[in-house]
Amino acid sequence: MIARVAGDDPTAVSAAALPPASGRFDIRTQDCIDFLRGLPEESVDLIVTDPAYSGMNRHMRFGHGRIVGHYGKPDNERWFHEFSDDAESYAVFLGECHRVLRKDRHVYIMFDSFSMLSLGALVREFFDVKGVVVWDKVHLGMGHYFRRRHEQIVFASKGRRKLSRRDLPDVWAVPRIHRAAYPTQKPVKLFELMVQASAEPGFLVCDPFCGSGSSGVAALLAGCDFIGADIDARAVDMAENRLATFVATGQDPLEPVRCTHIEGTGRPLPNRGSRSRGPA
């Protein structure tokens, strides 16, 4: 399952044109806390994750709709298992992230506006917060007042480490995915920026809430290994099939066409070269 990635491409390309990826992946059907507790201390090089926060959804009291289905019902096929994001549970999660992350490494944690206000400050108790990146989704989303078009990404470190790229702004204009296969599927390009800024080929990238596997695709593109988990077996099946297809063919079945240009940098994102690692 090991193949090589080509060098820089100065133009925007579709995923179908990308060569097969390098790296190994391991995705487990586990609760995020159990998953992290099962990893050795200081065993991963980068954490990128989009926790399945429950706070905003419960606060908004969703009923039903095209995206959420019948929210809150256990047999709802359109939704997913959420993380009980009270302060105590979130502190345990952050503590385990700190334990498994190697020294002098980075972590990126995504937040919606509700969870950013209720939980974002807790990150400072475990990591050295360096800043907040705004994800501009470009297209308007839902909203009863101002229509939502952004999310936040807290960027922090354990120890000292410089960014690999110094040309990135703190606002990333990456279009959200319409009619995605997974309810909260994030663009691969969003995770590519995190990985390119904070990882090297051969790093082990970790996502305790991997969902549809977008972070895994980004890790493999960079020549990194990937380990992740999701509590929902349906998501794990989707992510495993997605990454296996991507490793074998270079095609991403959930994002068949995607652009590698980031607004504000003045140039396209390169597809970094990578070195092959032995099979698992």
User: pTM score > 0.85 for this model?
Assistant: no
At 2, the pLDDT band (50, 70, 90 cuts) reads: very low
> Of 236, 233, 231, 207, nearest to 220 (Cα)?
207
Length of the chain: 280
Return mean pLDDT, the chain: 79
Percent of the chain with pLDDT over 90: 59
The encoded tokens of residue 158 equal 């354990």
Residue with structure tokens 């939704």?
79
The CA distance from 226 to 203, in Å, is: 8
The answer as to whether 241 is a domain residue is: no
Question: Which residues constitute the domain of residue 160?
Answer: 30-232
| CATH code of the domain covering residue 208 | 3.40.50.150
Q: Note the pLDDT tens digit of each residue in 89-109.
A: 899 999 999 999 999 999 999
The answer as to whether 246 is a domain residue is: no
The encoded tokens of residue 16 equal 């179908």
pLDDT, position 85? 66
267 pLDDT more than 90: no
At 84, the pLDDT band (50, 70, 90 cuts) reads: low
φ/ψ (deg, to 5) at 104: 65, 50
At 258, the pLDDT band (50, 70, 90 cuts) reads: low
The answer as to whether 134 is a domain residue is: yes
Q: What is the mean pLDDT of residues 233-261?
A: 86
74 pLDDT more than 60: no
What distances in angstroms separate CA 155 from CA 19, 49, 140, 170, 272, one per listed residue?
A: 30, 11, 24, 10, 22
At 142, the pLDDT band (50, 70, 90 cuts) reads: confident
The count of structural domains within the chain is 1
Could you tell me which residues come within 8 angstroms of residue 136 by beta carbon, excluding any fewer than 6 positions away?
A: 149, 150, 171, 172, 173, 174
Percent of the chain with pLDDT over 70: 72
The answer as to whether 280 is a domain residue is: no
Q: What is the mean pLDDT of residues 174-185?
A: 84
Sign of CA dihedral 218, 199, 166, 271: negative
Q: What is the mean pLDDT of residues 140-148?
A: 79
110 pLDDT more than 80: yes
The CA distance from 81 to 52, in Å, is: 7
Q: What is the mean pLDDT of residues 221-235?
A: 95
What distances in angstroms separate CA 277 from CA 2, 88, 220, one per listed residue?
A: 7, 39, 11
65 pLDDT more than 80: no
pLDDT, position 18? 40
Contact, 56 vs 112, CB < 8 A?
yes
Q: What is the mean pLDDT of residues 218-227?
A: 96
Could you tell me which residues come within 8 angstroms of residue 227 by beta carbon, excluding any fewer than 6 positions away?
A: 25, 26, 27, 28, 39, 44, 204, 205, 206, 207
At 64, the pLDDT band (50, 70, 90 cuts) reads: very low
238 pLDDT more than 90: yes
Contact, 134 vs 152, CB < 8 A?
yes
pLDDT, position 211? 93
- DSSP β-bridge partners for residue 131: 155
The CA distance from 103 to 173, in Å, is: 30
The answer as to whether 4 is a domain residue is: no
The answer as to whether 59 is a domain residue is: yes
The CA distance from 182 to 78, in Å, is: 8
The answer as to whether 6 is a domain residue is: no
At 260, the pLDDT band (50, 70, 90 cuts) reads: very low
Contact, 195 vs 229, CB < 8 A?
no
239 pLDDT more than 60: yes
The answer as to whether 13 is a domain residue is: no
The CA distance from 22 to 273, in Å, is: 10
